[in-house]
Structures are given as structure tokens and as C-alpha cells.
Chains A and B, each alone.
Chain A
Amino acid sequence: MKTYEDILIDDLGHGVYCITLNRPEARNALRTKLLAELADILNTLKIDDSCRCIVLTGGETVFAAGADVSEMASMNMMEIMQDERPKYWKTITTFPKPIVAAINGYALGGGCELAMHADIIIAGSNAQFGQPEINLGIIPGAGGTQRLIKTVGKALASKMVLTGEFIDANTALSVGLVAEITQPELSVERAIELAIKIAQKSPLAVQHAKACLLKSYETTLSDGLSFEHETFVMLAGTEDRNEGLAAFLEKRNPDFKGQ
């Protein structure tokens, strides 16, 4: 596997790959290079059948403290318009396999937005989430206004985006931004534990379940239900479905092939 400068890739076996943001000297600020590398590895893992699920983390002390402000400061409006970053974000947004994020310390600005791209967030008790862009005279630029409001609701999202105030792990849990809180030292292994669990399911069912869940952001309830039903019917034609049901009835563990 290719090696990168701003991220680390570990094949953990069991169908799980761990991506670690690796710019500790810059508190993992999401410079363009980092995003490009992240998009590149996701493009690779998207079509790699040995990958069933991703763990995304920044390590024990910080997830990502935002975009690279000096990089941003060097760009004018025309350059921002032609910026390649939205292309990289799109790769992350459309990545079809589940991403479990382990977030410790700051997830701010682009870091909070990246965290929200994960399907499941496990937060260390020291995690803090925020969209402080407003302090710089700008606004969140990678879905921060849209995903946050859909996740935490209007009141809290507006408070965070308009004042730049952070929320802690407990608040994030209470509003459903994160799925669980762990001790900071254990968030990564809890994320890996969940990722392994996911990786053992039928990859077809998992990817389509993810697609259905995300569809809810885009549609009305009735359209979403139709989409869910079509997917449900379609999965009935898979070997994995037959294997899953048979294994259940025969009281054994299923052996999913992704067919």
C-alpha cells in the first residue's frame, strides 16, 4: 500500500483499515495535501474488497483543529472558486463503506466537518466539537452548516456556527452527534471493535444500509421509505441474504461472501 505524508494507513486485518491524521505539529490541520491524501486512499479502499470498514482518528490528543489557516489566507476569491478541496470532500462524502471515527480533543472547523462525515463517532471524554469559522469572518465550508443542523438541531447548530462556541463530549452525546463516550485512551480501540463488528456483516447489506441512512438527509419520508423498500427487495436477491437467514436458522455463524 502507498505511503503518505499527512496520514498513516494501517491494515488491521478483519477487513478494517485505520486512517490516522498525522500532522501532530499542526494539530492535524486539514491542509489541502492532507485532504488529497485522504481522498486518494479512500478511492483505493473503495474498490478494495479486503476493506469492509474504516476507522478514522487523529490520535489520543487531537482530532483536527481545523483548516490550515495560513493556506487559506494565501488564496483569493478566484482561487477559492477553483479550489480542488470540494472534490476531495466529495470523495469522502460518497465513500460507500462505513467510517467509524474516534475523536479525542479538538474537532474544530473542518475537523468537526470531517468528523460528521463518519457514520459513527466515538468520542473520548476530552473531545470538543466546534465550528469557529465565524471568528475569522468566514463560515463553515465543508457541510458544517448543513450536517450540523441535521444532527444536533437548529438551536445548538446556530449557537455553534454563529458564536463559534465549542461543545464538549457530554453535550455531543446528548444531542446525538456522537454515539458513545469513552476514556480518551480507549476511543480508538472501541472504534476498531465496532468496525470489526461491521466488517463481519454482509458488505452488501452494510453498504446499502449506509446508503439508506444517508438518503434520509436528502428525501421526504415517503421517498425515503420507497428507497429503503427497493433496497430491501434488491438485497433479497443476494447470496449473503440466503446465507444470513440459513445461518440464523441453523444456529451457526454466517459466512458472508459479498455476493
Chain B
Amino acid sequence: MSYKTILFNVTDGVAKLVLNRPDKLNSFTAEMHKEIRTCLKVIESDDTIRCLLITGSGRGFCAGQDLNDRDVSADAQSPDLGLSLEKNYNPLLRRLKALEKPVVCAVNGVAAGAGANIALACDIVLAARSASFIQSFSKIGLVPDSGGTWSLPQIVGHARAMALSLLAEKVPAEQAEKWGMIWKCIDDEELLPEAEKLAASLANQPTKGLGYIKRAINASSTNTFDQQLDLERDLQRIAGRTQDYREGVNAFINKRKPKFVGQ
């Protein structure tokens, strides 16, 4: 299948999704959303895919919504931005969070608006040293979306979340790493090889177990400590029945390298 706005391929258990409108800083259009939905369906249902890597082509990662995709001339009716979120962005964010496989994001350049928040919703975020994150919404009278108002207070705290959102100040990758917004900042030329190495290694881990970890960590924000203990009990019970758990313990005892199959 060929796509117009993205590149998508699967190699050795890693699905690589590249936002591919470099002349528009990979900004989102309705068509790009549609193409990503098609890919996500494959990623969700194909058990041989055990990790998702998202990155952008060219100098930017993603500039968020393509503003040219909308008519805001004085005599035009206001576009329903809520509908756009409901139909396009929110399902994408929900699916990335719910995907029971690790999602690695390699932020290769500027990540602005929804582009920043989609990156921040991924499980492990690597960013090129020249990359930056910016909540550009307030500059055009909008509210951070794609989960930004939830993710930011979670990962950088209230004060920084508020200031970043109100001021739309740019956060360079190094700063983002210092603040704990992302996992690692990496030299530009090293970013993609490093991200691919990480994704390839994740694709050989106990995928089910990683999925349960994701479920547990994501649930923690709304759970009490007691609820989380119950959840850990339940997920551990399920994890203990996987083939990879047996393999892991067996390999450990026999001092050999485990061979996980993702089941």
C-alpha cells in the first residue's frame, strides 16, 4: 500500500511510521489522519508487529495541524475544531495510549502544537539536540490539544505546564530532557540510528508484559495507591501466564539469552 503523506514499513517486528510532508513541516491534514488510521489498524491487529517507531522526514518532526487546511476568512463560517479533534486527533491519541506495544518517538526537529503533544503521548521519546517542543496554541487563541493539557502537568508539573501553554515558549530538546519531558536528547546524526536500535531491541522483548506495564503506568494517574496495588496483582496474574515469562525465567536460571516471542 502506498501513502501520500506518510511512509510506513514493517521490518523485523518494528513498524516505522514517518510523517512525510517535509515541505509543510509534516503538519497534519485530514488525509494524513486517514492514512495513519489505516496503519494503526495494521499495527493493532498484527501480532508480529511488536514495536512502533514514529518520526518525521526533513528538518521538522511535526508542526501540528496544517492551518492551510482550514478556511478562516472573515466571511467563512467558523470551522468546528472540536469536531476535528473528536474525529481525527482524539482517536489517534487514544489508540497510541491503548496500543499494547511500546511506541518510540524520534523527534527529529521542531514539534509544535499537536505535533508536540502527539510526541509526548508516546511511550519513549528521543529528540535530536536541534529539536524543540512548543505549545503554539495560545498564539492563535487556542487551547493545547492532543492531550497536552493532561500530559504536560503530569510530566513537567503545574507551573511549567501552565507557563509553557500560556507563553508558547520553545523548549529545546536538552531542556526537555532536563525537565523529564522526554527520555533522552541525542546528537542529530545519531537520533535515527539510536531510535531504530531501541525499537529493534524493544521488538524482541516480552511484548505482552510491556503492554501490561503500559496499562499499569497509564492507569496510575487516576488510581489511588490501593487501586494500583490491585491492578498490579491482576496484571501480574495475567503476565505470569505468558509464554515469555516462562522463557525469561528459564533463560535466567540456565544463564542463557532469552528468546522472547511476544506471547
Contact = CB atoms under 8 A, between A and B. Distances in A.
A118 B84 CA distance: 40
Q: Interface residue tally of chain B, by bracket?
A: under 10
Interface residues of A, number: 4
Interface secondary structure of B, over-half rule:
helix
Interface in A182-196: 182-183, 185-186
B213 to A, nearest CB: 13
A250 to B, nearest CB: 34
A36 to B, nearest CB: 33
B238 interface: yes
Contacts of B234: 182-183, 186
Interface of B: 215, 231, 234-235, 237-238
A118 B237 CA distance: 26
B46 to A, nearest CB: 16
A194 B184 CA distance: 47
A183 B233 CA distance: 11
Contacts of A185: 238
Given A182-B234, A185-B238, A186-B237, 6 more contacts: A183-B215, A183-B231, A183-B234, A183-B235, A183-B238, A186-B234
A182 B230 CA distance: 10
A169 to B, nearest CB: 13
A174 to B, nearest CB: 14
10 contacts: A182-B234, A183-B215, A183-B231, A183-B234, A183-B235, A183-B238, A185-B238, A186-B234, A186-B237, A186-B238
A25 B212 CA distance: 27
B91 to A, nearest CB: 15
